[in-house]
Each structure stands twice: as C-alpha cells, then as structure tokens.
Amino acid sequence: MYKKSIKANSKYLIPFVEGIKYYGSDEIEHAIGTMIILNDEGDILTCKHIAIEFINNNKLGEIYSRLINELNSCKTEEEKKEIEKKYSLEKDTPVLTNINLPFKIGDTINIEIKLHDYLDLAIIKFKGANLKCDNYPVFAKELPLQGQSVCKLGFAFPEYSYFEYSKENENIVMKNEIISSFPLFPMDGIVTRQIVDEKKQVTMFETSTPGLRGQSGGPIFSPEGLVYGIQSMTKHLDLNFDIDKVVKRGIENKKITYTPFINLGVGISSKEIIKFLDSNNIKYNSR
C-alpha cells in the first residue's frame, strides 16, 4: 500500500547525525534524526528539539574548553567537586557534541535557524549547501481524519559508529569509517485522536504506532503520499493491565511481574506547518 509513497517521500529526506559525550565517560553516544528538504532553495524543516542541537553544539564547545582547563588545574578532590557544582555536572550530563552534515556545504558553515514559538517545529537554512533533490513534500491543507491510514518515515535507530573521543584533541572526532548510507525505516498505523496544545488549539494528532528513535522530524503521510505532518514525539500511556502471576515454564514455576504501556506517536499537523512556513516566507508545495 505504501511502496510508491515511501519511495517518493524518501527522496527529500536527509539524516541528522550527532555524537554525544557525557561527563565522566569517553564513550560516545550516537544519535540520529530526520530533516526534510522543502524546496529547490534548500530550506529544511525538522523538529525544534533537533534544530536546538545545532545551537547547543556551539555552546557546549565553548564551555567544554573552559571546563577541561579548570579540571586540569585541580589539585584536590574538593576543588573538583566545586567545579562539578559550578557546571551542574552529573554522570549523565552532556558536555560535548559533534554534528556531522551528510552533504557538501563549502568551506564555511553558515546556519540560520528559525524556531516556532511553542510547537516542536524549526526551519534551518544551510547557506552555501546544494540540497536540491528529485522530489519535495506536498503538505495537506486539512487535518487527517480519525481512523485514516498513515505512515511515518525516518532514519530510525543510530546503527552506525562514526564518532570517537580523542583525548589528544580533547574533542569528538570522526573515525576513518565511511558511511555509505543511512537506512530509512517506515512504520504505518492509523490516526487515533486529534491533540489540543497549550493554547487550546488542535495543532497535533496521535497515531496508533510510536515514533521510533531517529524518526523525529520525518514525514507522516497517506498511502497516496500526501504529508499530514511530521513526527514529533512518542507518548507512553499506562494501560493499567498490571500482571503479578506465577506461570509454568517447563517443570518450574516462574513469577512474572509486568506493567504494560501503549506507545503512541504524536505528529505536528501540516496545517500548522503551512502557517509556520508562510510566516517565514518559505516556498513549499501543498494540496
């Protein structure tokens, strides 16, 4: 049902690729997201929480160099603890990131970012990049109906090992490994409910299947390929079907404890995307 629309909508997608270092560890977490090329001018649409990573990348880089200098000058454990307190450092605190853009952008990277006031939407302009492609998204002018079949598409699961931490450079660096492609992952379902935002407006919708890690920013479209929104987040609803039971496994009794949740996707509607693009004079296709 979705073979043709997946092929058509995959042509304008590019991955957001990021390496993240946490305080107290030299292991690098590999993250991924999805960005949409909107037009032949190379304007990008994605989620705000992805676009903010470009801003955080610069901030963390400046802070990390100061942090390293201060930690290296520590003579006692008490001094180290004071620095950790100063920078609010815990074991799971991200202290450094490296974002790789999987396309040619010239010698100097000039990025312009426009964030939506409160929705999880952002426009990114990579000035100097050649981001033309064979197909661009066509946004629906209306909200999808409850029960309508939709498919979400994005670069789910960061199945790559691209970054490593260099103690010599005190930075996240790229390995010599060459990534030839990032596989796209489609997931279909139906629209379950419309969602009202903090301003009491219907700007989002819920899907019966979750958004997978990496699909954020990717399109949610009909079997015909019409884009009804972009994947923003996944919510986990408690089913209240708690299980605390002894079951037979072979000749032994085994106690099972299980608290199930249903995982649902949340998409930003194309109607809101169109309003956002119009307010920023961005060219797009709609129907």
Of 88-97, 185-194, 276-285, the one with minimum mean pLDDT is 88-97
Tell me how far the alpha carbon of residue 130 is from its chain's centroid: 22
Tell me how far the alpha carbon of residue 195 is from its chain's centroid: 20
Q: What is the pLDDT of residues 101-156, one digit of tens each?
A: 776 555 556 889 999 999 999 999 987 777 888 899 999 999 999 999 999 999 98
The whole-number pLDDT of residue 108 equals: 56
Enter the pTM of the model: 0.87
Identify the H or E element spanning 17: strand 13-22
DSSP 204-242: EEEESSPPPTT-TT-EEE-TT--EEEEEEEEEEEE----
Amino acid at 208: S
Euclidean distance between CA atoms 82 and 73, whole angstroms: 12
Q: What is the pLDDT of residues 40-81, one digit of tens each?
A: 888 999 999 999 999 888 888 778 888 877 777 777 778 777
Better-predicted residue by pLDDT, 224 or 78: 224
Compute CA distances 48 → 2, 29, 166, 203, 227, whole Å: 27, 20, 30, 15, 18
Euclidean distance between CA atoms 14 and 16, whole angstroms: 7
The CATH architecture one would assign to domain 3-286 is: Beta Barrel (2.40)
Q: What is the pLDDT of residues 173-222, one digit of tens each?
A: 888 666 656 889 999 999 999 999 988 999 999 999 999 989 999 999 99
Domain edges within the chain: 3-286
Would you say 60 and 52 are in contact if contact means Cβ atoms under 8 Å apart?
no
